[in-house]
Copies of this chain bind each other. A is one copy, B any other.
């Protein structure tokens, strides 16, 4: 008990939940926004940009990387992170479909 019962849901439902979950923390939203805004790779300045300790940022980056939404390449002593544009569309498509449904088509009867 206490653990999400993924086995009773469809693969698609689990995938949507997975991407939504990783976006479901303001630090990770901030990281994604920053990576998109700078439109290029960012190394350690995420720690300065966001006001969290370096290990905490590192942990959030790891989660984003595990889902596949960002990637990082080592460049000297620093690591260069950026949006994984190859995966982005496929990862977000299910969530996009869910939230962009046309509310006008819905007769909310209550």
Cβ–Cβ contact B98 & A41, under 8 A: no
Cβ–Cβ contact B39 & A107, under 8 A: yes
Using CB atoms, name the residue of chain B closest to A30. Answer: B13
State the copy count for this chain.
Answer: 2
A41-B109, A92-B99 are known; give 15 further A-B pairs, CB within 8 A. Answer: A4-B25, A8-B52, A9-B30, A14-B26, A16-B23, A16-B29, A17-B25, A18-B24, A20-B23, A23-B95, A29-B98, A32-B98, A36-B106, A80-B109, A89-B103
- Which residues on A are within 8 Å of B, measured CB to CB? 4-6, 8-10, 13-14, 16-18, 20-30, 32-33, 36, 39-41, 50-52, 71-73, 75, 80-85, 88-89, 92, 95-96, 98-101, 103-110
